[in-house]
Structure 1
Amino acid sequence: MIAYIKGTLVQIHEDAVIVDVHGVGYEIVCATPFAFQASLDNQVTIHTYHYVREDTQVLYGFRNDDEKLLFTKLISVSGIGPKGALAILGSVDTQAFIEAIEREDDKFLTSFPGIGKKTARQIILDLKGKLTALASMPAQSSVNTPSGEDASGIQEAQEALKSLGYTEREIKSIIPELKQEDTQNTDEMVRKALALLMRK
């Protein structure tokens, strides 16, 4: 198994990053690729999970071992595949997710795309009591982020747009609309920003 990739971050795409390791480019699928924006063109270490099936091989990437562990626990649940696990990692505060499992909050769990009541119950059955070691993890990608983090989310999105070739003037023209978005997830903000820019 490939535990991590260490090399130069050369590209960031909507759902993946490319890391150059001695001339070999590794495509690593991530929940929030633009979280690595600050490391573009620099040395980076990305924790990875090598997903192998008969018809596919994919490298999934994470910012730390805790994120990777949560991912592996999620895909062990019947009804949740890698895409579903990444969607959860990219849009929820990890502690809130763990707390929802511990209090058996079906309503919270079914708020994620593709998670129905049956799968929510399966998550609780399989993972309750098994994620408490991660409960001390710092909150990441919370939908209800403090105002101090709002600015950094906007800033990360702006940097991502600059790297895609948009001018400062173009970016500033959509900031007011971007600030009205409910999410502070950088990738979601970038997608919304691109949609807004396409209309101008």
Structure 2
Amino acid sequence: MFEYIKGSIESVGPEYIVVENQGIGYQIITPNPFVFSRQIGQYIKIYTYHYVREDIMALYGFQAKEEKALFTKLLNVSGIGPKGALAILASGNPEQVIAAIESEDEAFLIKFPGVGKKTARQMILDLKGKLQAIVPDYFPDLFTAGEDRFQQPSLAEWEEAELALKALGYSDKEIRKIAPELQKEKLSTDQYIKKALQKLLR
């Protein structure tokens, strides 16, 4: 119903952001809302998926078309609902998930929240060979094209990334274990989160 929404970010919560467009505030559930914390008041474009069932109606939002496309594909897998699909995207990125499905890497897939062996096997059966159009050739630099939209990284970016990781259920001990290596690099909040999750999922 809605391909995308353009508007200003009014607020950021643990599970969603609010984007105002022409006087209407849209509550949009996103994989990692905290990456938008420094963009409150800024104008953005977010790709949306309108989920409707008898007992629920919600808008899910993504920074990239690839994330939205993978979210939609995951919803077609038996045993995966919107919360499960969102958790997978929050913990990984499209090329990681697709590469694991194509290589039938069940051990990697079951590391995602809510994904057991049965669901991992179902993901492979339902999606293998059908995801090439989402991330062509599993291009590893999917998100680097838009990196210049971030401000110069600082300590604040890492602190925001820590908050996001805690919101995803990781403990202070787990985060402290990977922090020294990550803090050697100057990255955006989104980049810190993605690199941290790659290490935590190993």
Q: Please name the residue that 2:54 is paired with.
A: 54
TM-score by length of 2: 0.71
Number of the residue aligned with 1:192: none
- Seen in structure 2, the aligned counterparts of structure 1 residues 112 and 26 have a Cα distance that, compared at 3 Å, is same
Distance in 1 between the 2:140 and 2:26 partners?
28
Secondary structure, in 3 states, of the residue corresponding to 1:86? helix
Contact 1:66 1:137 in 2 (8 A): no
CA distance in 1, matches of 2:141, 2:40: 23
> Which residue of 185, 189, 196 maps to 2:193?
185
Tell me, in whole angstroms, the C-alpha distance in 2 between the residues paired with 1:159 and 1:106: 31
Give the Å deviation of 1:62: 0.1
Give per-residue Cα distances to partners, 1:19-52, cap 9 Å, x unaligned: 1112111100000112223421011111100000
Instruction: Give the letter for the 2:11 counterpart.
Output: Q
Amino acid at match of 2:123: I
Residue identity (%): 47
CA gap 1:120/1:19 in 2 versus in 1, 3 angstroms: same
Distance 2:2 2:27 in 1: 13
Q: Which runs of 5+ in 1 are unaligned?
A: 141-150, 162-175, 190-200
Q: CA RMSD in A?
A: 2.9
In 1, Cα distance between equivalents of 2:44 and 2:13: 16
Aligned residues of 2:66 and 2:94 also touching (Cα < 8 A): no
What residue ranges of structure 2 are gaps of 5+ in the alignment? 144-151, 163-171, 180-191, 198-202
SS at match of 2:29: strand
Which segments of structure 1 move beyond 6 Å, counting only runs of 4 or more? 176-179
Larger-Rg structure: 1
Alignment correspondent of 1:77: 77
Higher mean Cα deviation, 51-60 or 92-101?
92-101
Task: Report the TM-score, using the length of structure 1 for normalisation.
Answer: 0.72
1:121 counterpart letter in structure 2: R
CA contact (8 A) 2:34 2:160 kept: no
1:83-129 CA deviation, whole Å, 9 max, x = no partner? Answer: 11111101114322211111111111111121111111110011111
